[in-house]
Amino acid sequence: MAKSRFEYVRNFERENLLLPETHIIIRVDGRGFHKFSEKYEFDKPNDDRALKVMNLSACQLMNQIPDIMMAYGDSDEYSFLLRKQCDMFERREFKLITTFGSTFSANYQYFWSSVCSDKPLTVERLPTFDARAVVYPSDDTIKDYFRWRQVDCHINNLYNTTFWNLVIKGGMTPHDAENKLIGTVSADKNEILFKQFGINYNDEPEIYKKGTLYIRDSVITPTEANTRDLTKRQLERLQKRLKKSEIKELHCDIIKDEFWDDRPWLLC
Amino acid sequence: MAKSRFEYVRNFERENLLLPETHIIIRVDGRGFHKFSEKYEFDKPNDDRALKVMNLSACQLMNQIPDIMMAYGDSDEYSFLLRKQCDMFERREFKLITTFGSTFSANYQYFWSSVCSDKPLTVERLPTFDARAVVYPSDDTIKDYFRWRQVDCHINNLYNTTFWNLVIKGGMTPHDAENKLIGTVSADKNEILFKQFGINYNDEPEIYKKGTLYIRDSVITPTEANTRDLTKRQLERLQKRLKKSEIKELHCDIIKDEFWDDRPWLLC
Amino acid sequence: MAKSRFEYVRNFERENLLLPETHIIIRVDGRGFHKFSEKYEFDKPNDDRALKVMNLSACQLMNQIPDIMMAYGDSDEYSFLLRKQCDMFERREFKLITTFGSTFSANYQYFWSSVCSDKPLTVERLPTFDARAVVYPSDDTIKDYFRWRQVDCHINNLYNTTFWNLVIKGGMTPHDAENKLIGTVSADKNEILFKQFGINYNDEPEIYKKGTLYIRDSVITPTEANTRDLTKRQLERLQKRLKKSEIKELHCDIIKDEFWDDRPWLLC
Amino acid sequence: MAKSRFEYVRNFERENLLLPETHIIIRVDGRGFHKFSEKYEFDKPNDDRALKVMNLSACQLMNQIPDIMMAYGDSDEYSFLLRKQCDMFERREFKLITTFGSTFSANYQYFWSSVCSDKPLTVERLPTFDARAVVYPSDDTIKDYFRWRQVDCHINNLYNTTFWNLVIKGGMTPHDAENKLIGTVSADKNEILFKQFGINYNDEPEIYKKGTLYIRDSVITPTEANTRDLTKRQLERLQKRLKKSEIKELHCDIIKDEFWDDRPWLLC
């Protein structure tokens, strides 16, 4: 169609293309979820149904986007690993992050309505997620990224478990509980839980302690992983296989090498 | 809390801070809305309820974010103008665009459920929007941006009106209608509409021809607009006034200077 | 010529195009000039011949690049203002800054050889300059940029003049002189100069106190300044006039509005 | 020192930090060297003294910057490989590229004066170089980058050798020589050289056919290469060893794996 004389304003648009042949990780993060969890009265320290909504949303996103090889999440965040040769949106950053942020938000609202139908959402506080993309140049940095998130999950969950037991079972005010925990290390919190509430932290559910992992089953051959230029037909076949590949849910340790050594295709 | 030895992976994060003291325009754009409109059987060429959902979503976003001075949209897109001194998220691009994209998507899904409750959404095709931010350095380029979008709205609506009349009332196949319109100019389409279907395009509803505009009522004094450093208290008072300011809906010409000359505060 | 199968490595290149229709300022800055001035035994606090080499280099650059409307410098730095519509290298940042940095360095080495032929340069310490580009969206921010540099020149020159008088005429060690000046304000330094050395700072040469300014004479009509799309021929004629325009050297105040009000074409 | 009220203009500065733990390649490229070579009457197709000036400049730069592991150049360009963990200027792009561009230009002017003292430089046409940085995420892409440059060197040198023989010995006009070579492949040019001028291209000097390579001798242990966090002292010792390490000049094939397999430390 005819172009108008105002078309020149497009010259002000700027594009950021993420570096080729590097892994992209996109992390979505709940916006204002502290208030969201209060408004919709989440169970503390962990709300099983809210976790279920997060996991359904992440798994659905992985079904929609075949280039996601694995996803890891806990609390109100999820990280998605795209395969190294991923060329979705020609690696344009704005397209990638706004698509992930808005699709995850859409999934969350959708699944919330069925999983938590007793808590209808109000327009003033709908669940939304921001999203950022980071590129990592090596397998080691990718692994350390996910280790970082799992360590964070552990630290937060131990803290929250202790905090909420002090408040709910121990009858402390949130303010007092917070003060009591200042300066404590993991061993201290484990002891409080055990001595005061008879809780062995090790026996807590794995999903709380380790977070949730979705991984795509091995469908990429080493050749496909390393070949820069698959033919168009080869690429289509790969995409199809990725789309149909099984997605598994895990709640396991991803800090030790073992997890990664056993699943080399994840870093394809 | 304690930092893990994996924390270094944050060094790979990159930030883009949008240039200070320039207007930011953020445009959200429906993803795959051609298929979305087929799936949910939109009226053609314009679906009044879908338009209503778009407009409710935009107006709600403007209520949530006081720094938006005006919004213009048609079809499946909306553009939001942030005031020049806006410091939301310290002008971090990723935060701004993923917040706009996911909040608009969330609003749309929410309002769809009430406005189009007879057409429940399925998880395979939820409404989502991508979003991009562009900075413009002058009043003229801002005005031309919005003119560009309104000219685009006009061109598309005239085309769609003619196309769908040829198909629905004229009984042509979409393929034949498309071919018939190749190479035609506005005058040709006006003539087809008038001679073949008795439609005077000028009499079509303004909301179709001009799109929809939301503008914030004048609440910024010239001093506030130009002062680089409002005190924290002044800024809070301004934000409050912006939040409470009336938002008006218009369907008028924004190409002529008149619109802009009458509302200088929009470009504050 | 034939492209090799290694050509794909170009896909890793990234471009930053500076925002259109904004002024670009490029500042070159001497690298390691503290040691450079020791090695080549500069007069203190100001070395007239070194200043002359700086100024000749800047003026020569302005002769070579017609889009430079003005230049301001002191000590070992120079700032160049490019006209708003400048399209040199399509505004590619890397081309602009490396061209300015290397051309200024080349000019400096060239002029040094004639102005300071008694002090031949050695390869271990050649004069080099880094360069950075910043875009400014308004006339006010441009003016404030140059005001910032001139205030800086004043602050540094007053300090250096006092410091070196304490050392050279006052016989203090550099360490003691530094300590004496810690916490002093301008009035204190003026008093030291006057009481201890009989120097009225106001009588110091303008070139030391105000720095050096090169401005291009008015050759741009308001129409040319504001027209987005000059025809190719109009543009060539403009470039020619800019190239032939007279360049004036000034050592005056650029902080007050008067300087800018009298020369509106500089901000074209 | 006191900050002025104009200091805010620094907020408009933008930084690009090159991705950590990736190799950086910086390529300097002569500006307008076609005209430069005409003005200073270079021998054709290759001017040995001009090549010498290029090589002296590159080698000197490598002596000045210990993080450069190797350099490859031909004609009027040179590429420098920085080690993966290089933290020079905290990887700020503008500092890196303007320092390389201006230092290489300075070196060139300096060495020209001694090597080509019979051809004094004039201020209107001083030698200057632009510079760009590209990051590469893997050993393979680094190798392919240098292969790309060497293939380019070969293609250009074969063309230039044939072209200039046609002009100088064959008496053709440049225009006719150019036309004669349009559409020819390597074999054709080899044949022209051999049949018409008795030149066996294989016997041409390696420096013309392969370009020039400077490599730093092995001084990095695998541990040092892979350790993210050397202590400050370890890092200083490494820098010292890099600074004192021998630099070797080569004119060999870098396309085959052999070159790289024999020198694994280059990609540290």
User: Are A21 and D135 within 8 A, CB to CB?
Assistant: no
In this prediction the ipTM stands at 0.95
Maximum CA extent, chain C: 76
User: Are D20 and B14 within 8 A, CB to CB?
Assistant: no
Residues B47, B41: Cα–Cα separation, whole Å: 9
Point out the residue among D12, D20, D228 whose CB comes nearest to the CB of B19. D12
Structure tokens at B62: 């403007």
Q: Which residue of D has its CA nearest to B10?
A: D20
The whole-angstrom distance between D10's CA and the closest CA on chain B is 11
Q: What are phi and psi of A132, to 5 degrees?
A: -135, 150
Instruction: Check if C55 contacts B (Cβ < 8 Å).
Output: no
Mutation choice for B interface testing from C19, C147, C227 by most B CBs within 10 A:
C19
User: Are A19 and C8 within 8 A, CB to CB?
Assistant: no
Q: Facing residues of C240 across strands? A: none
H or E stretch covering D67: none
Structure tokens at A121: 């959402």
Closest among A50, A90, A44, A98 to A67, alpha carbons compared: A90
Point out the residue among C134, C144, C156 whose CB comes nearest to the CB of D13. C134
Structure tokens at A74: 């806990």
Q: Facing residues of A216 across strands? A: A247
User: Are A126 and B135 within 8 A, CB to CB?
Assistant: no
- For residue D170, the tally of other CB atoms under 10 A from its CB is 16
What pLDDT shows up at residue B236? 85
Residue that the structure tokens 């010239």 belong to: B222
User: Are B21 and C135 within 8 A, CB to CB?
Assistant: no
Point out the residue among B12, B17, B20 whose CB comes nearest to the CB of D20. B12
The whole-angstrom distance between A2's CA and the closest CA on chain B is 8
Burial of B229 (0-12, 13-18, 19+ CB in 10 A): exposed
What pLDDT shows up at residue B1? 47
Neighbours, chain B (3 or more CB pairs < 8 A):
A, C, D
Residues 8-47 of D with CB under 8 A from B: 8, 11-12, 14, 17, 19-20
Average the pLDDT over B83-88 and give the result.
Answer: 94
Asked if B50 contacts B58 with a C-beta cutoff of 8 angstroms, the reply is no
Instruction: Check if C130 contacts D (Cβ < 8 Å).
Output: yes
Contacting residues of D for B228, CB less than 8 Å apart: 8
Residues C42, C50: Cα–Cα separation, whole Å: 7
Contacting residues of C for D152, CB less than 8 Å apart: 4
What pLDDT shows up at residue C218? 78
Structure tokens at B88: 């939301």
User: Are B17 and D14 within 8 A, CB to CB?
Assistant: yes
Residues A243, D25: Cα–Cα separation, whole Å: 37
Q: Which residue of A has its CA nearest to C228?
A: A8
What pLDDT shows up at residue D1? 47
Closest among A58, A134, A56 to A96, alpha carbons compared: A134
| Residue range C208-222, pLDDT digits in tens | 999 999 999 877 777
DSSP structure class, residue A31: T
Contacting residues of D for C32, CB less than 8 Å apart: none
Instruction: Check if D131 contacts C (Cβ < 8 Å).
Output: yes
User: Are B20 and D14 within 8 A, CB to CB?
Assistant: no
Instruction: Check if A115 contacts B (Cβ < 8 Å).
Output: no
pLDDT in tens, chain A (268 residues): 457 899 999 999 999 999 999 999 999 999 999 999 999 999 999 999 999 999 999 999 999 999 999 999 999 999 999 999 999 999 999 999 999 999 999 999 999 999 999 999 999 999 999 999 999 999 999 999 999 999 999 999 999 999 999 999 999 999 999 999 999 999 999 999 999 999 999 999 999 999 999 999 877 777 777 777 778 888 888 888 888 899 999 999 999 999 999 999 999 8
| Residue range D17-62, pLDDT digits in tens | 999 999 999 999 999 999 999 999 999 999 999 999 999 999 999 9
What pLDDT shows up at residue A223? 74
Residues B236, B148: Cα–Cα separation, whole Å: 34
HSE-CB at B170 with a 13 A cutoff on CA atoms is: 23
Closest among C29, C137, C31 to C79, alpha carbons compared: C29
Contacting residues of A for C12, CB less than 8 Å apart: 19-20
Instruction: Check if B123 contacts A (Cβ < 8 Å).
Output: yes
Sign for the pseudo-dihedral over CA of B13, B18, B20, B25: negative
Residues B197, B204: Cα–Cα separation, whole Å: 13
The whole-angstrom distance between A213's CA and the closest CA on chain B is 19
Is 0.90 topped by the overall pTM? yes
What pLDDT shows up at residue B2? 54
DSSP helix/strand/coil, B1: coil
User: Are B123 and A102 within 8 A, CB to CB?
Assistant: no
Residue that the structure tokens 């208290």 belong to: B233
What pLDDT shows up at residue C2? 54
Q: What are phi and psi of A171, to 5 degrees?
A: 75, 15
Neighbours, chain C (3 or more CB pairs < 8 A):
A, B, D
Residues C205, C254: Cα–Cα separation, whole Å: 16
Q: How confident is the model at residue D2 (pLDDT cuts 50, 70, 90)?
A: low
Closest among C12, C9, C5, C259 to C139, alpha carbons compared: C259
CA angle B200, B204, B206 (to 5 degrees): 140
What pLDDT shows up at residue D224? 77
What pLDDT shows up at residue C234? 86
Residue that the structure tokens 């964070």 belong to: A152
Q: How many distinct helices (H) and strands (E) make up chain A? A: 10, 6
DSSP helix/strand/coil, B146: helix
Residues 193-232 of D with CB under 8 A from B: 228
Can you list the pairs that A191-196 forms with residues at least 24 positions away whose Cβ atoms lie under 8 Å? A192/A162, A192/A165, A192/A166, A193/A161, A193/A162, A193/A165, A196/A165, A196/A166, A196/A170
DSSP helix/strand/coil, D167: helix
Q: Between chain C and chain D, how many beta carbons pairs sit less than 8 Å apart?
A: 155
Residues C134, C145: Cα–Cα separation, whole Å: 10
The whole-angstrom distance between A20's CA and the closest CA on chain D is 8
Instruction: Check if B137 contacts D (Cβ < 8 Å).
Output: no
Average pLDDT, chain B: 95
Residues B257, B261: Cα–Cα separation, whole Å: 6
Average the pLDDT over B159-184 and give the result.
Answer: 97
For residue B147, is pLDDT > 60? yes
For residue D127, is pLDDT > 90? yes
Maximum CA extent, chain A: 76
User: Are D22 and A137 within 8 A, CB to CB?
Assistant: yes
The beta strand positions in chain A, using DSSP E, are: 23-30, 68-74, 77-82, 129-136, 212-216, 247-250
What pLDDT shows up at residue C157? 98
Q: Which residues of C are annotated as a binding site?
A: 29-34, 75-76
Q: Which residues of C are annotated as a binding site for Mg(2+)?
A: 29-30, 76
What pLDDT shows up at residue C1? 47
Residue type for position C150: Q
User: Are A94 and B131 within 8 A, CB to CB?
Assistant: yes
Residues A131, A58: Cα–Cα separation, whole Å: 13
Can you list the pairs that D248-253 forms with residues at least 24 positions away whose Cβ atoms lie under 8 Å? D248/D214, D248/D215, D248/D217, D249/D55, D249/D59, D249/D212, D249/D213, D249/D214, D250/D212, D250/D213, D250/D214, D250/D215, D251/D206, D251/D207, D251/D210, D251/D211, D251/D212, D251/D213, D252/D206, D252/D210, D252/D213, D253/D150, D253/D210
| Residue range B194-232, pLDDT digits in tens | 999 999 999 999 999 999 999 998 777 777 777 777 788
Can you list the pairs that B201-210 forms with residues at least 24 positions away whose Cβ atoms lie under 8 Å? B201/B158, B201/B161, B204/B157, B204/B161, B206/B251, B206/B252, B207/B51, B207/B251, B208/B45, B208/B46, B208/B157, B208/B161, B209/B153, B209/B154, B209/B157, B210/B150, B210/B153, B210/B154, B210/B251, B210/B252, B210/B253, B210/B254
> Order of strands, edge to edge, in the sheet holding C23-30?
C129-136, C23-30, C77-82, C68-74, C212-216, C247-250
User: Are D9 and C129 within 8 A, CB to CB?
Assistant: no
The list of chain C residues with pLDDT below 50 reads 1
DSSP helix/strand/coil, C54: helix
Q: What share of chain A is helix, strand, coil (3-state, %, to 5)?
A: 55, 15, 30
Contacting residues of C for D100, CB less than 8 Å apart: 98
Contacting residues of A for C90, CB less than 8 Å apart: none
What are the structural domains, with CATH classification, of chain B?
A: 16-154+206-267 (3.30.70.3000)
DSSP helix/strand/coil, C123: helix
The whole-angstrom distance between B264's CA and the closest CA on chain C is 18
Q: Between chain B and chain D, how many beta carbons pairs sit less than 8 Å apart?
A: 12
Q: How confident is the model at residue B16 (pLDDT cuts 50, 70, 90)?
A: very high
Residues B24, A51: Cα–Cα separation, whole Å: 36
User: Are B17 and D12 within 8 A, CB to CB?
Assistant: no
Residues B121, A113: Cα–Cα separation, whole Å: 11
Closest among C77, A227, B170 to B161, alpha carbons compared: B170
Residues C79, C132: Cα–Cα separation, whole Å: 10
Mutation choice for D interface testing from B7, B9, B11 by most D CBs within 10 A:
B11
User: Are A135 and D21 within 8 A, CB to CB?
Assistant: no
For residue D229, is pLDDT > 70? yes
- A15-46 residues labelled b (16+ CB within 10 A) or e (exposed): ebebbbbbbbbbbbbbbebeebbeebebeebb
The whole-angstrom distance between C225's CA and the closest CA on chain D is 23
The whole-angstrom distance between C20's CA and the closest CA on chain A is 6
Contacting residues of D for C12, CB less than 8 Å apart: 134-136, 141
The whole-angstrom distance between D182's CA and the closest CA on chain A is 30
> Order of strands, edge to edge, in the sheet holding B212-216?
B129-136, B23-30, B77-82, B68-74, B212-216, B247-250
User: Are D137 and A141 within 8 A, CB to CB?
Assistant: no
Closest among B29, B24, B149, B32 to B101, alpha carbons compared: B29
Contacting residues of D for C80, CB less than 8 Å apart: none
Instruction: Check if A109 contacts B (Cβ < 8 Å).
Output: yes
The whole-angstrom distance between D70's CA and the closest CA on chain B is 25
Closest among C180, C179, C190 to C155, alpha carbons compared: C190
